[in-house]
Structure 1
């Protein structure tokens, strides 16, 4: 017992210091995890364009059928991401919006390191679109090849666990889609990583 007691006397203080240091490190890591949030990643995993028809008389109108699979991943390992505003996607051609859809409701949550998959199938027979002469010319040029350059603008607002601050979310997904046909049936869609805008600081 005497030998064990002497060994314990020699080891207990280093052990206590190590335990205290480990506790401090854990606290610092947890505070950092809940204080600083990493922006989510947004990708388009699949998309297809069944119809994209422009009419210029009597007014400029667009008929389309678009389906896509939008994936939002919360990259934070400790904090849940909650929508404080609805998550929306605006569809654009040549910089002009021709439709807008709601992706997720206000209040929807995405847990730490979790992924939400949204399947969007939208279309319209004929909807007004303000393309202008340049936009009409761009449509005619792309219509020759049957491949259209579209843009999906994702917007929303989120809040992370234990944070009071609301974070604006704005991302742009640039797509190049060929009209569906037997010739394009075997073409594999390449995933598109959406570019997110950097969040502005309060003093900017």
Structure 2
């Protein structure tokens, strides 16, 4: 470092090849290395944010917010079949604040009684995208005059027992396959929602329904 007359009080610095203010060389060197440290720190913070956003999967929350059963009758001849009308409001919440979820298979809900399925309803198609942090609300209304169900003698007896009380145990099971944004692995989405539904035929007072949080199946190892 040497005095530079043409710069007045300036000093010539070979690093910048120009006349610089009279800042000691050690000070300028410290500023340079502090800048490098800040850049490294900013990179580390950015990496941590990206890791938190896309590195860890938070699985969905599934719940039945409302449900009503206005008809539930069993026919046993020529086969066991239900005549029923069931309506429910089901929600699926994407708990990830940055990652969207894409369906790699249709998302469906199965209705079953005493372990036997009697209907299946499609909620969303393959390719449907569930945005980050959003809750999807599905309003489902299903009914049939003769939905086949393989109950057997034990199932018929269980129906007779529940029919005597006017309260039926119906299970809603969600099934699908999804891929989380920035992940290559396809993950199964499965949840069960056990419902206790009091039969309320049209024209009778409505029954207050208590929200049911569905139980998610244990995720696969890579999910």
- Tell me the TM-score normalised to structure 1 length: 0.89
Does 1:30 pair with 2:50?
yes
Q: Distance in 2 between matches of 1:73 and 1:88?
A: 16
Which digits, 9 at most, give the CA deviation of each residue in 1:20-64, with x for residues without a partner? 224312213313422331111111111100111001122211111
Q: Distance in 1 between matches of 2:148 and 2:65?
A: 28
Choose from 172, 179, 183 the match for 1:152: 172
Choose from 84, 93, 114 the match for 1:64: 84
Q: Distance in 1 between matches of 2:89 and 2:39?
A: 48
Choose from 77, 97, 115 the match for 1:77: 97
What stretches of structure 1 of length at least 5 have no aligned partner? none
Which digits, 9 at most, give the CA deviation of each residue in 1:105-155, with x for residues without a partner? 111111111111111101100121101111111111111111100000100
Partner of 2:143: 123
What stretches of structure 2 of length at least 5 have no aligned partner? 1-20
* Cα distance, 1:161 vs structure 2: 1.2
Choose from 161, 171, 183 the match for 1:141: 161
Higher radius of gyration, 1 or 2: 2
Q: Spell out the pairing of 1:39-188 with structure 2 (5 A cutoff).
A: 39-181=59-201, 184-185=205-206, 187-188=207-208
- Relative contact order: is structure 1 or structure 2 higher (C-alpha 8 Å, sep ≥ 6)? 1
Partner of 1:198: 218
Partner of 2:3: none
Give 4+ residue runs of structure 1 displaced > 2 Å after superposition: 5-20, 181-184
Count of residue pairs the alignment pairs up: 201
* Cα distance, 1:6 vs structure 2: 9.1
Q: Are residues 8 and 71 of structure 1, via their aligned partners in 2, closer, same or farther at CA, if it must alter by over 3 Å?
A: farther
1:144 is paired with a residue whose SS is helix
**Cα contact 1:178–1:184 (8 A) shared by 2:** no
